[in-house]
Amino acid sequence: MARDLTTLPRPHRDDRWLTTEAGWRIFTRTHHPRGGTTRRPAVLVVPGYGAPGTSVQGWGQVVNTREIAALGCAVMTVDLSGRGRSWGIEAHGGPAHHGDVRTALRHLARRDEVDPDRIGVVTLSMGVVAVAGALAEGDRPPVAWWIDWEGPSDRETITAGGTRMAPAMGHSLEDEAYWRSREPVRSVGLTGVPYLRYQAARDHAQPGELRHAVRMLRAAADGDLPWFQLNDHPVGEIPATPRWMPPGIEPARRWILDRISALHGCRRPRPAPAR
Counting runs of H as helices and runs of E as strands, what totals does the chain give?
A: 8, 8
Q: Is the pTM of this model over 0.85?
A: yes
pLDDT tens, position by position, 92-119: 999 999 999 999 999 999 999 999 999 9
For residues 247 and 200, the answer to whether their CB atoms sit within 8 Å is yes
pLDDT of residue 3: 52
Confidence of residue 275 (pLDDT cuts 50, 70, 90): very low
Confidence of residue 36 (pLDDT cuts 50, 70, 90): confident
Residues present in the chain in total: 275
The domain limits of the chain are 15-162+173-263
CATH architecture of the domain covering 15-162+173-263: 3-Layer(aba) Sandwich (3.40)
Burial 2-31 (b: 16+ CB within 10 A, else e): eeebebbeebeeeeeebebebebebbbbbb
